[in-house]
């Protein structure tokens, strides 16, 4: 029964965050010439996706019986020092973003983050991270016209600018 309360609390928090984000996205719904569906289209879509995913996860946990492997508390056995990079690496990424730019930064951040999460197969990790980064870059830059920072440090700026020029 304790697990059910945890799942319900987790659902309420994640669904609530998604709902607040969705409602906040209407505060900047001004018509913009470059955005066909309005400026709040993709933030609202991400918020809706978060709410749908949290609902699906809650229903799955509630109505699908747990196997013996699911009932083990594996995350309780992870030492605290192994959990620190999970929070520190995204903070470093955000702090370095204005200097190294988004395009080069995401290509560095994703594999490093995956390695700290336990992915040890280098070829598989790099290929999956490259595909995810390519999808993010193409969709947000080419189709949604989101201007990502190109960085200020030499080398990174040139790489990011060349990638943006290639996409257009």
Assign residue 38 a region (left: φ > 0; alpha: ψ between -120 and 50; beta: otherwise).
Answer: left
Same domain for 156 and 123, yes or no, is yes
Q: Is the pLDDT of residue 29 over 70?
A: no
> φ, ψ for residue 89 (rounded to 5)?
-60, -45
Same domain for 48 and 100, yes or no, is no
Total domain count, the chain: 2
Query: Which residue has tokens 């490093």?
Result: 112
* Separation between Cα atoms, residue 168 and residue 141, nearest integer Å: 9
Q: How does the average pLDDT of the chain come out, rounded?
A: 86
Q: Is the pLDDT of residue 22 over 80?
A: yes
pLDDT of residue 39: 73
What pTM, to 2 d.p., does this model score? 0.60
Assign residue 35 a region (left: φ > 0; alpha: ψ between -120 and 50; beta: otherwise).
Answer: beta
Domain that holds residue 31: 1-72
Of 53, 72, 91, which residue constitutes the final position of a domain?
72
Same domain for 166 and 106, yes or no, is yes
Of 43, 72, 101, which residue constitutes the final position of a domain?
72
Which of 6, 42, 1 minimizes the C-alpha distance to 25? 42
Rounded mean pLDDT, 124-134 = 94
Q: What six digits make up the tokens of 86?
A: 């999970």
Same domain for 41 and 104, yes or no, is no
Same domain for 25 and 47, yes or no, is yes
Same domain for 39 and 23, yes or no, is yes
Rounded mean pLDDT, 45-70 = 85
Q: What is the DSSP string of 80-117?
A: HHHHHHHHHHHHHHHHHHHHH-HHHHHHHHHHHHHHHT
Same domain for 68 and 82, yes or no, is no
Of 54, 72, 90, which residue constitutes the final position of a domain?
72
Show contacts of 70-79: CB within 8 Å, 24+ apart: none
CA distances from 119 to 24, 51, 112 (A): 36, 28, 10
* Separation between Cα atoms, residue 158 and residue 168, nearest integer Å: 16
* Separation between Cα atoms, residue 167 and residue 145, nearest integer Å: 11
Rounded mean pLDDT, 108-130 = 92
């Amino acid at each position: 029964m304790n697990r059910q309360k945890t799942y319900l609390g987790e659902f309420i928090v994640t669904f609530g965050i998604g709902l607040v984000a969705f409602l906040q996205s209407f505060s900047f719904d001004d018509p913009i010439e470059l955005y066909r569906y309005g400026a709040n289209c993709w933030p609202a879509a991400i918020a809706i996706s978060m709410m749908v995913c949290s609902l699906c996860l809650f229903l799955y946990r509630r109505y699908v019986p747990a196997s013996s492997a699911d009932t083990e508390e594996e995350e309780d056995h992870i030492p605290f020092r192994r959990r620190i990079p999970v929070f520190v690496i995204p903070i470093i990424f955000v702090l370095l973003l204005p200097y190294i730019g988004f395009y080069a930064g995401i290509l560095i951040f994703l594999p490093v983050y995956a390695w700290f999460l336990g992915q040890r197969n280098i070829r598989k990790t790099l290929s999956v991270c490259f595909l995810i980064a390519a999808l993010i870059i193409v969709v947000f830059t080419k189709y949604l016209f989101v201007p990502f920072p190109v960085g200020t440090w030499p080398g990174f700026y040139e790489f990011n600018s060349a990638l943006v020029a290639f996409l257009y």
